[in-house]
Structure 1
């Protein structure tokens, strides 16, 4: 069997019962990967077993798949995402200890954890945190791997078992098992396109770490930043956001968008998708990174697609959770 790589139409041999990832790595093809068990999402690529159209040299219909979990049974077509910005990280497990619990606003907790080993990750990724055998939750990292501690900004949800644990039972000195990193919404350092960064509510923590990553990498991309909050009583971290934005080499806009309540003079009133929709006619040339709850990301993503953002240029991790 053969793999045809697009857009250049090179062909590679793939063995029976071999995953796409193993075949690509055996042929020294650049592809991001980490866990190899389908959890991290880094090896996501576009896949088809249909023929190439002669006009464009692409498949009739490509579907996203995880290369580590895909075993072709026929000749196939593959397009690797961001081959010039490959990320390869080992799967890691660490023991975390809660050093501090902060409450920047009601229904939000900022957890600061030390770890028994240095965890390697990229801005935009997240970790699986297990508090007890029956309480595991995904949290986005709100910092950089060079920071002395690991920080998570957590939105507390009614009836959520993990939320109840964090709000009522968690204490400094408690420990947790931390696995990761997970997620493919990492910073593409070699990309020179304009960058649109969006956060909703506690997605701000991830946004702050991501912007610090842009600054630390010395990237000169034009950067547009929007931090959205449902109501004014949920707003936090505005001064942190302003200070981080000062580090960027080409900041074009930094807006705090608030859905209602008492606004500060620099806030903009409205819903985040509506404000972005008014500010931009066409986003097809942008790389977009979105941080926040699954629902907020889903709503914002629909707007971004309507504004021309291709799926491979929209980076987010709308992982879903259970409130059981």
Structure 2
């Protein structure tokens, strides 16, 4: 049977039942992947026409019209179909691995945000914007986004402490400098697209600032000249952090503009309301933009809907929603 692959515009002859990622790799089609286990989301692609079998879902079944996106590593080909993969020049391949790391610093950023810095025993290769699974003990495991770059020599994470949170409670009360942490990754597909030369919209809610910092630092490290418009949303003035980092990044990248938006109350040099309201006030169209959205699911979902309406193509919206499971 035949598989037509967009946008590389190639037709592959494959046998029924073959794994989609295996088929793409066997035919030298450039495709991103990492964990090969359906966890990282890196090999996400779109089924444009035809049916496949998605083993990553609770029930194996052909996809309906509303279920067009799949993970190639978990998908098996059952008939001729057309698939769409991410743009070839955006391919990243980081071998998923587990590294041991040591806590070298624990710093309070706000009343409920801690900055954790780890020194890995071996380098962990990742793209700006990705995240990793941190295992503090066998019973305390949680994904967090990297705030730095793999060239830093350290791994940095920002953790919001949640009342009665099992993992964050351990971080707040028990974790200390010198403790060992297992780091698994990298994970996630909301990474920096380095070949893009147009404007970037970065939206961070709370500790969603961590991956956005990584992305902006990645732009600077790559020598990219993209205009970057960052909207940083927080609940109140006491939740604001990282302004000194952002000011330093503005000096390195004059094309960076920062808008801090406070949901309730007033804060000096900040706007009041929701980030979606601020974006809608500032722009009539976002045509040509790529959007990086990181933070709580309601904010990510609302902003995704807005930027689609304002002209950002769905495949050029890179979202990382921080779900509270296992906090």
TM over 0.5: yes
With structure 1 as the length reference, what TM-score do the two structures score? 0.92
Which residue of the partner structure matches residue 315 of structure 1? 318
Give the one of 135, 142, 146 matched to 1:137.
Answer: 142
Which residue of the partner structure matches residue 276 of structure 1? 279
Question: Are 2:231 and 1:215 aligned?
Answer: no
> What is the deviation of 1:306?
2.2
Query: Deviation string for 1:7-65 (max 9, x for gaps)?
Result: 565310112331111111111111111111111111111114439xxxxxxxx888111
The residue matched to 1:202 in structure 2 has which SS? helix
What is the aligned length?
314
The residue matched to 2:225 in structure 1 has which SS? coil
Which residue of the partner structure matches residue 295 of structure 1? 298
Which residue of the partner structure matches residue 153 of structure 1? 158
Change (3 A) 1:17 1:248: same
Give the one of 69, 73, 77 matched to 1:72.
Answer: 77
Separation in 2, partners of 1:84, 1:74? 28
Checking the alignment, whether the CA contact within 8 Å between 1:283 and 1:308 is kept in structure 2 is yes
Checking the alignment, whether the CA contact within 8 Å between 1:48 and 1:62 is kept in structure 2 is no
Separation in 2, partners of 1:242, 1:215? 14
Query: Deviation string for 1:93-132 (max 9, x for gaps)?
Result: 1111111111111011110111111100011000001112
Separation in 2, partners of 1:295, 1:173? 36
Checking the alignment, whether the CA contact within 8 Å between 1:49 and 1:74 is kept in structure 2 is no
Which residue of the partner structure matches residue 16 of structure 1? 16
Which residue of the partner structure matches residue 261 of structure 1? 265
Which residue of the partner structure matches residue 41 of structure 1? 41
> What is the deviation of 1:294?
2.6
Checking the alignment, whether the CA contact within 8 Å between 1:211 and 1:245 is kept in structure 2 is no
Aligned pairs (5 A) from 1:225-264: 225-248=230-253, 250-251=255-256, 253-264=257-268
Separation in 1, partners of 2:50, 2:19? 18
Deviating more after overlay: 135-144 vs 242-251: 242-251
Checking the alignment, whether the CA contact within 8 Å between 2:142 and 2:326 is kept in structure 1 is no
Change (3 A) 1:262 1:321: closer
Checking the alignment, whether the CA contact within 8 Å between 2:295 and 2:322 is kept in structure 1 is no
The residue matched to 1:117 in structure 2 has which SS? coil
The residue matched to 1:282 in structure 2 has which SS? coil
With structure 2 as the length reference, what TM-score do the two structures score? 0.91
Separation in 1, partners of 2:286, 2:320? 20
Checking the alignment, whether the CA contact within 8 Å between 2:232 and 2:261 is kept in structure 1 is yes
Deviating more after overlay: 204-213 vs 101-110: 204-213
Separation in 2, partners of 1:15, 1:320? 38
Checking the alignment, whether the CA contact within 8 Å between 1:89 and 1:120 is kept in structure 2 is yes
> What is the deviation of 1:205?
2.2
Change (3 A) 1:157 1:39: same
Which residue of the partner structure matches residue 106 of structure 1? 111
> What is the deviation of 1:308?
2.3
- Which stretches of structure 1, 4 residues or more, deviate above 2 A after TM superposition? 6-10, 48-51, 293-296
Separation in 2, partners of 1:295, 1:61? 21
Which residue of the partner structure matches residue 162 of structure 1? 167
